[in-house]
Structure 1
C-alpha cells in the first residue's frame, strides 16, 4: 500500500471520529439542560438559601426545652373574622426538583429568569404572580388587575377543619390607640377595599416584655421559625424580652410626638434593594418622608441620589445580616446603618436572633450559639440601647403569611421554611403602623429589565428560591398599589 493511500485512510478516519464526537456532544448538551436548577438546597435535609433583599434561612433543627412558671393572665386571641381565607390569583407553576449542595454554596451560575420561575420563591425587594401559566414567560405592560372580591363569609366553625394545625389563624389582640387620626390613612380606608376582611388593626406588630408569659409560650411553641417560638426555650425568651420593657419597644414609631411637627398623617418610605432604583433619582423624595425603612444589604454610600441617605428603621434577621455582611462587603456593605435616628427591628426566625438582641440591649458579648463571643456594637454602634431595639411578634409574621401571602408552598414539604421575605414583612409592617406608605425598590412586573440590586456592578438576573414566594409578593404589591393603600415606585 502506498504512503499516500495510507495518509488518506488516516485522515478519513480522523474526520469520521470528529463528526461522531460532535454529534455525541450536541446530544449530551441538549439532554442535560433540563437538570440545571438555580436553587441552592438541602444539606442534611435542611434548606440553606441566600440573598440580600430576599433572605437566607437556617435549618429548622431546634429543640423545645422545658418551661418555667410565670403567672401573667393570658392575652385575648383573635380568630379569623368571618371571611374566608384570602385567595390569590396566581400562575400555575411547577415545584422544582432539588439538588444537593454544600452549605458553603451561595449562588452558582444562573439561567435566564424564565427558566428559574418557581411556584415558591425567595424575596424582599421582589415577588409576583402575573406570569402565564406553565410557560415561564412574563406578561409586560399594564399592571395586573386586582383579584376578585373574597367569597361570601363562612362561619369560623365550618371552616376550621380545613386549615392544618400549623396555620394557627388565631392571634393575640392588643388595644393600643392609634398615634394619629389621619382621615385618609390606611387604617381608615382599608375597610373600603378588598383587603378589609384580612386586615387586623389590633394585632401586635412587635413583641416585648409583657408577652413573655408561660401561657403564651405554650401557645406559640407549636409554630416553628418566624411564626412562633418553636425551638426557643422559655429561659431564652424571658431573658430577651425582659430587656424590651418600655413603650419604645412596642411602638414602631416611638418618637412620633417629637418628629410630627404638627403633621396629621405619618408618611413612611419603605426601600427595598431592587435594581429598579438604579438611576431613579428618588433619593430626595425618599428622605422627605417622616420615616425611612430599609432591610438587609442596604448600601447607601455612593447611591444617595437614587436611594436617599436616611434610615429610621432597619429590618433584618441575624442570618440575613450575617449573609449580607459576607456577600456584599465587596460592593461596600459594612453593616446596618448607624445613626442617631436608626431603630433596629429583628425578624426572629431562630434563637440566635434572641441571643443577639439580648447582648445588644445589655452591651455584652453574645454568650452562646452561632454568634458566640461577637460584640453587637460592631453591627449597631457604640450607642445602641434597648430603646433602639425592636422585634417582630411571631403572631404578626404568621398573620402576614396566612392572610396576605398564603403560598402554595404551605401545601408542600417545605411549609416549615416558607415565610414572607424580610422586605415583605417590613413593607406590610409599615402598612400596619404608618398612615401613608410609599414603596421603592420592590419587584414589579418588568423586573427582568433591571439587575437584582441597585448596587450591582454587573447585571444579575433575579433569582427565585423556595423559602419565599417572590412572585406572589410582586402580585400583592400591584394589588395594594391599585387599591390606593401604598404608592409603589414603577418605571413609566
Structure 2
C-alpha cells in the first residue's frame, strides 16, 4: 500500500513538472490590448476628403506576417500596416477566444497594430475592359484600393484565430462585444459563393466592360426622368427601400443587386408598404447582398438559411424568408466580409466622428457600402440618388410626394459622403448624377 502511495506521488510530481515546463513554453493566447484608447500610431488616410482629414499618404512594401496567438508581430514585420494574405495567418492549436472587449472602455476608436490587416482573395477580378476604373490614374485612389480584398464572408472563415483578430473591431467591422459561438453558428451556414466574381461580363459585350448603375434613395431623383438611363446599364444596384412602382420614369425598375441589412429590409416593408414595397426586389436572377451590421443580422441569417421562424433575438416571431418572397436562392445570397467594411471606413471614409466618445455609432451608409461594392465588381459606375451639396433643394427620399428635410443622423457622416462622392466624380472614377436646375 505504501509503495502504491509513493508511486502515485511520484507520478503526480512528474505530471506537475511537465505541466510547468509546457506552460512556460506556450505563447500567450491573445494579442495585447489596453482598456483605454492609446493608439500605436495615428491612422494613415489614403483617401483624404477635403480639409477635415490630415495625415500623409503612406506606401508600404514588403510582406507582413501577424501571429495572433502572440503579443508581438513576427520577425521582419514592416513598420507600417500592410494587407495580410489569408494563407499567411498563423493558426495555433491551443488557442482560445480572447476575453470580450467592450465599447464603453474606449473613449475613441482604438487602433491596433493590425488595424490595416485584411483578408485577401487569391481570386481577384482581372478586368479586360480598357476603360475600367481599376486603370484609374488617380494615385491616391490606387494606393488606397485593394482589388483583391475579400468581399464575402462564408463558412470556413471563422477559425478561433480569425475570431481573435476580428473581435478587436466594433460591428459591422468586426465582432467586438459578441461571443464566438453566437456568430460562428450563423457564419457556418453561409455557403461559399460558386464564383468569386459577383457579376459576369455581359454576353455579347464588345469591349468586355461591366457597366453598373448604383441607385440610392435620395430625393434628387424625384422628377429627374433618369429611369430609362438607369435601366440601360448592364446591372443596377439598389439599396434599402428600393421603391420602383410608380416611379419608373425617375428611377427605372430594373434591379440586379439588392444591398440591405435585416433592419433596412424589415423596416422598409413595414413603413413603405403604402408605396408598394411589400418585400425585396423580385427581378429574375437577382443577387441579394447583406451588410452584417450587428448581432441581429447574424440571427436573421440563421433564420433565413434554415428557412425557419425565429424563436429568439431581435426578430423573434419573424420568418426572414418571407421578406424575399419567391426569389431567394442560396447561391444568389452574399454576405459582405467585416474586413471589406472596415477597409472602406478606414481607407476611404475615416470620419472625424471616430475621435469622439460616440465613435462606435459611426459607419458609412448602406448606399456608401453598395457604391464601393460596385467599384470593386464593375468597370464603369454611375451613381444616382446619392447626397450632393445642394441636397436641401430636394426631399429626403425620391418617393416622397411632399418636400421633407434631409435628417443628418449621428451614425453617419453625410458631409463626408458629399465630399467623397464629388471627389470620386471629379477624379473620373464614378459619374455622379448632379441635377442641373434651370
Measured against the shorter chain, the TM-score band is 0.7 to 0.9
Residue-by-residue CA offset, 1:222-255 (whole Å, 9 max, x unaligned)? 11210102244333433323333343475432xx
Aligned-residue CA RMSD (Å): 2.8
Please tell me whether the aligned partners of residues 206 and 249 of structure 1 are also in contact (alpha carbons under 8 angstroms): no
1:327 and 1:290, CA in 2 relative to 1: closer, same or farther beyond 3 A? same
Equivalent position of 1:226 in the other structure = 172
Please tell me whether the aligned partners of residues 232 and 350 of structure 1 are also in contact (alpha carbons under 8 angstroms): no
What SS is found at the alignment partner of 1:173?
A: coil
In structure 2, stretches of 5+ residues that fail to align are: 1-40, 62-77, 83-107
What SS is found at the alignment partner of 2:344?
A: helix
1:484 and 1:87, CA in 2 relative to 1: closer, same or farther beyond 3 A? closer
Please tell me whether the aligned partners of residues 109 and 354 of structure 2 are also in contact (alpha carbons under 8 angstroms): no
Residues 1:171 and 2:171 aligned together: no
1:459 and 1:219, CA in 2 relative to 1: closer, same or farther beyond 3 A? same
What SS is found at the alignment partner of 1:292?
A: strand
Equivalent position of 1:343 in the other structure = 287
1:232 and 1:310, CA in 2 relative to 1: closer, same or farther beyond 3 A? farther
Residue-by-residue CA offset, 1:406-444 (whole Å, 9 max, x unaligned)? 101000011111111111011011101111101000111
Among candidates 365, 383, 393, match of residue 439 of structure 1: 383
Residue-by-residue CA offset, 1:86-131 (whole Å, 9 max, x unaligned)? 433246xxxxxxxxxxxxxxxxxxxxxxxxxxxxxxxxxxxxxxxx
1:242 and 1:400, CA in 2 relative to 1: closer, same or farther beyond 3 A? same
Equivalent position of 2:70 in the other structure = none
What SS is found at the alignment partner of 1:416?
A: helix
| Equivalent residue runs for 1:96-175 within 5 Å | 151=57, 157=79, 164-165=110-111, 168-175=115-122
Residue-by-residue CA offset, 1:59-90 (whole Å, 9 max, x unaligned)? xxxxxxxxxxxxxxxxxxxxx9x975443324
Residues 1:200 and 2:143 aligned together: no
| Equivalent residue runs for 1:139-288 within 5 Å | 151=57, 157=79, 164-165=110-111, 168-178=115-125, 180-189=127-136, 191-248=137-194, 250-253=196-199, 256=200, 259-263=202-206, 264-288=208-232
| Equivalent residue runs for 1:326-337 within 5 Å | 326-337=270-281
Residue-by-residue CA offset, 1:156-182 (whole Å, 9 max, x unaligned)? 63789x984269222112121415321
Equivalent position of 1:318 in the other structure = 262
Among candidates 375, 383, 396, match of residue 340 of structure 2: 396
Please tell me whether the aligned partners of residues 362 and 386 of structure 1 are also in contact (alpha carbons under 8 angstroms): no
Higher normalized contact order (CA 8 Å, seq sep 6+, divided by chain length): 1
| Equivalent residue runs for 1:287-306 within 5 Å | 287-306=231-250
In structure 1, stretches of 5+ residues that fail to align are: 1-79, 92-146
1:460 and 1:163, CA in 2 relative to 1: closer, same or farther beyond 3 A? closer
**Counterparts of 2:210 and 2:59 in 1: how far apart (Å)?**
33
Among candidates 356, 370, 384, match of residue 328 of structure 2: 384
TM-score by length of 2: 0.74
Q: 1:386, CA displacement in angstroms?
A: 1.2
**Counterparts of 2:310 and 2:343 in 1: how far apart (Å)?**
30
1:400 and 1:277, CA in 2 relative to 1: closer, same or farther beyond 3 A? same
Equivalent position of 1:88 in the other structure = 49
1:236 and 1:383, CA in 2 relative to 1: closer, same or farther beyond 3 A? farther
**Counterparts of 1:367 and 1:90 in 2: how far apart (Å)?**
49
Which stretch shifts more, 209-218 or 468-477?
209-218
Q: 1:378, CA displacement in angstroms?
A: 1.7
1:239 and 1:252, CA in 2 relative to 1: closer, same or farther beyond 3 A? farther
TM-score by length of 1: 0.66
What SS is found at the alignment partner of 2:245?
A: coil
Which stretch shifts more, 480-489 or 214-223?
214-223
**Counterparts of 2:80 and 2:382 in 1: how far apart (Å)?**
39
Please tell me whether the aligned partners of residues 282 and 327 of structure 2 are also in contact (alpha carbons under 8 angstroms): no
Q: 1:184, CA displacement in angstroms?
A: 1.9
Please tell me whether the aligned partners of residues 214 and 237 of structure 2 are also in contact (alpha carbons under 8 angstroms): yes
**Counterparts of 2:197 and 2:433 in 1: how far apart (Å)?**
27
What SS is found at the alignment partner of 1:225?
A: coil
Equivalent position of 2:75 in the other structure = none
Please tell me whether the aligned partners of residues 248 and 387 of structure 1 are also in contact (alpha carbons under 8 angstroms): yes
Please tell me whether the aligned partners of residues 315 and 346 of structure 1 are also in contact (alpha carbons under 8 angstroms): yes
1:443 and 1:84, CA in 2 relative to 1: closer, same or farther beyond 3 A? closer
